[in-house]
Amino acid sequence: MIKRKKVVGMKPRLHFGLAFGLMGLVGALALVIGHRSVLAINGFSNNQELPLPPLAPIGPAPASFIVRGLEPSVRVDAQGTVYVSSIRGVPTGVDLHRYYAAIDGQPGAGGTYPFKYEGQPDNCGIFNMSQGGCANNNLDPLGLGLGGGDVDIAVNYPTTGTPNLALVSLTLAPGVTGAHSTTRGDSFSAPNPVVAVIPGDDRQWIDGTDAQTVYLNYHDAGTFNIDVQRSNDGGQTYLNGFAEAIDPQTFPASGRSAGHEQRQHRRAD
């Protein structure tokens, strides 16, 4: 009787041991299956690095900034154009890469894209490697970027033609730099460093609709409000739009009182 109890007690342990061993076998097989099979399971392409210039000369000075690619973001337009942006940090600007199959070619081994480096839209346009600096130094004679704190990109949705690409970059003061491209990033409008109507900004984000409309929102340090502006020209300039995320009729009741309470709270602290 005692032996039978022992046998019965061992059955759950045996089942657990078999299950644990099976899990280990499956894990081992996952480690040794071919790379292509892994891609078929997870659906991702191979990792790839988007190159940047190693150094950014500071005008005629015998010194350069070390280029960094931080806080990347990605947008894809309705025609399949892929845009990837990253920041270097203030005051060295932002960088942009573009992939469009019709121009840049078909994907490579492992599903990687042959991205094209499109320079610094918030600085001097296309980065000219042969000159070791920006192609148009009239915009920035010191070789410094107009932004680099944050970056966001947005695409528009026209019924015909090339979709507009809008880009904003953060400088904190005066605020937000804006530019846009109608050539899939091959050229940009002159950077506009004062698209935000309120100085002292942070975390600016944009999104596009129809052919040319772009909405910009950001947080301003002075009032701790969320401000909203609209562009009707693809992101080159932004209208005031009352500069708040609420309409003028609501603002006296909520916006000013909220701002007043925030100021009073800060004073109390």
Residue 115's pLDDT is what? 95
Residue 242's pLDDT is what? 52
Measured distance CA(88)–CA(81) in Å, rounded: 23
Residue 74's pLDDT is what? 95
Residue 5's pLDDT is what? 47
Query: What tokens were used for 208?
Result: 């596009």
Residue 11's pLDDT is what? 56
pLDDT by residue, tens only, the chain of 269 residues: 544 444 445 555 555 565 656 666 555 545 444 444 444 456 788 888 898 888 877 767 777 778 888 899 999 999 999 999 999 887 778 899 999 999 999 999 888 999 999 988 887 533 333 333 333 333 444 555 567 789 999 999 999 999 999 999 988 677 888 999 999 999 888 888 888 877 778 889 999 999 999 999 888 877 777 888 889 999 999 886 554 545 565 556 544 444 444 444 444 44
**168: closest CA among 215, 135, 128, 98?**
215
Q: How far is CA 33 from CA 28, 29, 165, 204, in A?
A: 9, 6, 42, 44
Please give the distance of CA 95 from its chain centroid, rounded to a whole number: 10
Measured distance CA(81)–CA(115) in Å, rounded: 10
Residue 241's pLDDT is what? 53
Measured distance CA(193)–CA(12) in Å, rounded: 70
